[in-house]
Amino acid sequence: MSDNNYIVSARKYRPSTFASVVGQQSLTHTLKTAIASGRLAHAYLFCGPRGVGKTTCARIFAKTINCEHPTPDGEACNECASCQAFATQQSYNITELDAASNNSVEDIRNITDQVRIPPQGGRYRVFIIDEVHMLSNQAFNAFLKTLEEPPEYAIFILATTEKQKVIPTILSRCQIYDFARITVPDIVAQLQRIAADQGVEAAPEALNVIAQKADGAMRDALSIFDQVVASTEGHITYQNTIANLNVLDYDYYFRLVDTFVAGDVPQALLIYKEVRDKGFDSLFFINGLAAHLRNLMVSQTPATRVLLEMDEQVSARYVEQAAAVSAGFLYRAVDLCCTCDLNYREATSKQLLVELTLVKLCQILKPQEAKREATPIQPVAAAPQPTAPQPAAAQTAAAPVRQSVARTVAPQPSAAAPTPAAAPQSAAPQPRSAASRRRPVAAGQSAAGAAATQSAPAAQGDTVRREPFTDDQLAVAWQDYIKAHPSEHVIISAMQMATPVKIGDNQYSVAVANVMQQNFMNDSKHKWLSSLRDALRNDMLAIDVTVAESAPEPAILSPRELANDMAQRLPQFRALVDDFGLRLS
């Protein structure tokens, strides 16, 4: 076939009958029924995405209503003079206007002038206005009267991809038909018919990639199909299709999910490097990974597998991998990918952001490391003092105190009790009285808070920090935390309205406004309390969060009660009332 005779598939295989329209069966059935019954409106609005058949259906509709010998099923005969004139684009009864480039008042006036001319060799004159939403407001207003009261032989068909931009006065004068996106199976079936007609060998998975790339538009699918056929010389395979269309092979995503399940961070980063080396954008990669995880989610239950829109071979692979992961893993993984997508545009190091997301994905199913138990505090041996030895009675009295502290901080059943001489003098706290050790729980203090204040916290290192501090130093550390964490709105709001009040040795209480603030403070207590302990270098600090008693609500007075109250409190007001002889009750 010579180049001069070549016609692109989008034009060559453009439907000429309602039956050949792909993916719009219910809508075409409605139009054929209206034609067969003679119930034709004077204005139609065809709206929907690009490439789904709006203009094609408008032309078929215009040809069918002027056909001299329609078939019993409501189709045009394609043999009469009217149909032949339409096929050769010589029909005077069909006028098309592209509103994208002809959107002025003068263009609409030309249409209204042509409306006055009756049809030639047919029953109706059909005016098709494509991309009607591009008309200016003045053009819309100039078109209103003609659209509302056209001659009996005039029918208007308006087509648009953006119905919301058409003014309401136009919409109210039209019958509106919404065209749906064409599904992937319908596109694949149509491409298979075209490939067979052209003698092209096409793998089903390759046609599936083309259909997904078309995003519901048959015209786009045919254009992509022509592109792939030209580059593959009529032998379409999955590999040459994804190479030609710059589509990332879904095998990368299957491999990545396997690394997530295994917790293999290095392998996940190496796969990401392979993707970047092939020239794919990182944002495209992370969005593709999110789509893959979504497909795994819908593959886990038979009821939702229809949402896959894949061929059987690929669908079976998704079902197999979906059975190996839990729904909770997929929910968390999709959330991480969406978070990466949101932060991608503002990230300084975009590659690092994606790599960090992959690391987090590998750690979702990785077993949590067991928390390390607190290391028992070993007394540091002190060098013998040259001074006179301590009296035996004093050593005997101090030993129980040190042993009690050792049991409180970290019991060590297997180790021998240290001798009094080996215990460092700086580590031994001052002995407390029995009453101090049995201090009752303060009013409004929770049981958990009381336990936190009466027990020493577990040490992170080898010693427990016990440096003394004042209330002023705690207040400074409190304000420093507020300034350092401005993004923690609820916590900071509660801390700004509360002040730590001392209730015992290293024990404080703060009162917040309500239970919600109390819950937020307790949930993040490990964070802000650790920060305060670090600032004061004292691990014995304990703070309990309580709810403050609500202040009494002000009384609401009636106007008479308000006047009596003012008269009792303000002598000048009482004198004014007496001077004018007014009555307050």
| Domain spans, the chain | 3-178, 184-245, 250-362, 466-547, 555-585
Q: What is the pLDDT along the chain (585 residues), one digit of tens a residue?
A: 445 678 888 888 899 889 889 988 889 999 988 888 888 999 999 999 999 999 999 999 999 998 888 888 788 888 888 888 888 888 888 889 999 888 888 988 988 888 888 887 778 999 999 999 999 889 998 888 888 888 889 999 999 999 999 999 999 999 999 998 998 888 999 999 999 998 888 988 899 999 988 888 999 999 999 999 988 888 889 888 988 888 888 889 999 999 999 999 999 999 999 999 988 999 999 999 999 999 999 999 989 988 887 878 888 999 999 999 999 999 999 999 999 999 999 999 999 999 999 999 999 887 544 333 334 444 444 444 444 444 444 444 444 444 443 344 444 444 334 443 343 443 444 444 433 333 444 434 444 444 444 344 544 445 788 889 898 899 999 898 888 888 887 788 888 888 899 888 888 998 988 888 888 888 888 888 999 998 999 888 999 999 887 544 556 667 777 778 777 777 777 777 777 777 766
> What does DSSP say about strands 501-504 and 507-512: parallel, antiparallel, or unpaired?
antiparallel
End-to-end CA distance of the chain: 108
Q: How many CA atoms lie within 13 A of 349 on its CB side?
A: 6
Nearest to 61 by CA among 79, 80, 43: 43
Separation of alpha carbons 482 and 476, rounded Å: 10
Nearest to 483 by CA among 492, 475, 471, 474: 492
* Order of strands, sheet of 501-504, starting from the edge strand that comes earlier in the sequence: 501-504, 507-512, 542-547
Pick the CATH number of 184-245 from 3.40.50.1370, 3.40.50.620, 2.60.40.3080, 1.10.8.60: 1.10.8.60
Separation of alpha carbons 271 and 285, rounded Å: 11
Question: Any idea which fold 250-362 has?
Answer: Zinc Finger, Delta Prime; domain 3 (1.20.272)
CATH 3.40.50.300 for domain 3-178, yes or no, is yes
**What's the pLDDT at 371?**
36
The structural architecture, per CATH, of the domain 466-547 is 2-Layer Sandwich (3.30)
0.85 surpassed by pTM: no
